[in-house]
Amino acid sequence: SSRGQPVGIPLLEQEPEEPLGLGQLPTELLEMVLSHVPPHVLLGRCRRVCRRWRDLVDCQALWLSILARDHAALSPVLRTCLPADDDPRPRVLGRFCERRPIGRNLLRNPRGLAGFLKWTVLSSEDGWAAEEENLEVIPSAYMLTSFLSACRGYHKKQVLDLEKEGFWPELLDSGKIEICVSDWRNDQQGTDCIYQLTVQLLDANQAILDHFSPLPFPIWKWRNSVSPQVSHVFSNLKKGVRYVSFECCIWDLEFRNEQYGISVTNSSVIVQVCLS
């Protein structure tokens, strides 16, 4: 016998307990577990598991806990201008947590690499037509890229959709954010040029609400060895700002019958939260 168990009677094996599945967790515990999953996985995979998980991912409570942990400095400000609980737009806060748009450059391909992807590049050859064939990229100085063309005037442009970048209307209209823009003028052009920067803040219909457009700046070829920066901060934003249009124009003053070198510089559009 063993510990009083009669001889010949086998010991009863205790059945192992089944592990508790995620689907069996109380809502509060499941929400806590999901809050540690990367936002892009929550939106792209977890939301498809079942209706219960979808409802949790679409709920503000999950994203508020992620905001409090991953954006601790911003959370007190962001909580004062949250979307309504019954907002029909699902995953508004989720897109913000996924894209993390505060403090990063929202412009795509700011140095104009890889054939100027994400930029609309126009030339004056045919009444400001899109440049497709007559464009050759040349590596240049640090933070700069040049292209060659036989056209006299060029401009590059991007229009940023702030809501797609992760901002929601209540935050954009809260008066608690500012938009910082900058560009670098390259003073080592191969020809004499006129440089012009124009930045516009647009509403949902892309009507202009505010703009920054300093006077055109002459750049004389090979005159200087530095690349001055031009910058501006849009503060006290008007309500309704939904887009930022960023456009640089360069006009060649020599207009020779050969290709020109025109810079595409390291531009930036950065949104900051006013913590004070």
- 177 and 231 in a common domain: yes
CATH of the domain at 38: 1.20.1280.50
- Model confidence at 20, pLDDT cuts 50, 70, 90, reads low
pLDDT for the residue numbered 189: 53
Query: Is the separation of the CB atoms in 61 and 38 below 8 Å?
Result: no
* pLDDT tens sequence across 131-152: 444 444 444 443 345 544 555 6
Q: Is residue 87 located within the same domain as residue 204?
A: no
What is the structure's pLDDT at 239?
A: 94
- Give the residue from 64, 99, 134 where a domain finishes: 99
Where are the alpha helices (H) located in 59-120, listed in sequence order?
60-70, 75-78, 92-99
pLDDT at 31 over 60: yes
Does the pTM surpass 0.85? The reply is no
Return the CA Rg of the chain.
Answer: 28
In a domain, 10, yes or no: no
Q: In this structure, what are the phi and psi dihedrals at residue 196, rounded to the nearest 5 degrees?
A: -140, 130
Q: CB-side exposure of 227: number of CA atoms within 13 Å?
A: 18
Beta pairing, strands 136-139 & 193-202: unpaired
Predicted confidence at residue 59, as pLDDT, reads 87
- Residue at 183 is within a domain: yes
The pLDDT value given to residue 163: 94
Nearest to 194 by CA among 259, 251, 254: 251
For residue 258, what is the DSSP state? S
| 109 within domain boundaries | no
Please state the φ and ψ torsions of residue 169, each to the nearest 5 degrees: -55, -40
Question: What's the total number of domains in the chain?
Answer: 2
CATH number for the domain spanning 215: value is 2.60.120.260
Q: Is 108 a domain residue? A: no
Question: Tokens at residue 18, please?
Answer: 């089944």
Phi/psi of residue 122, each to 5°?
-115, 150
Domain identity same for 154 and 223: yes
Condensed to tens digits (0 to 9), the pLDDT of residues 37-67 reads 999 999 999 988 899 999 999 888 899 999 9
pLDDT in tens, 115-136: 566 777 766 554 444 544 444 4
Which carries the bigger pLDDT value, residue 92 or residue 152? 92
User: Are residues 263 and 170 part of one domain?
Assistant: yes
Domain containing 148: what range? Answer: 120-273
User: What does the mean pLDDT of the chain come to?
Assistant: 78
Phi then psi for residue 230, to 5 deg, are -115, 135
Q: What would the pLDDT profile of 156-204 be if each residue is shown by its tens digit?
A: 889 999 999 999 999 999 999 999 999 876 555 556 777 888 999 999 9
CB 146 within 8 A of CB 261: yes
Of 99, 132, 147, which residue is a domain's last? 99
Query: When comparing pLDDT for 250 and 158, which is higher?
Result: 158
Cα 131 versus chain centre, distance: 25
Residue 113 lies in a domain: no
Tokens describing residue 23: 């689907």
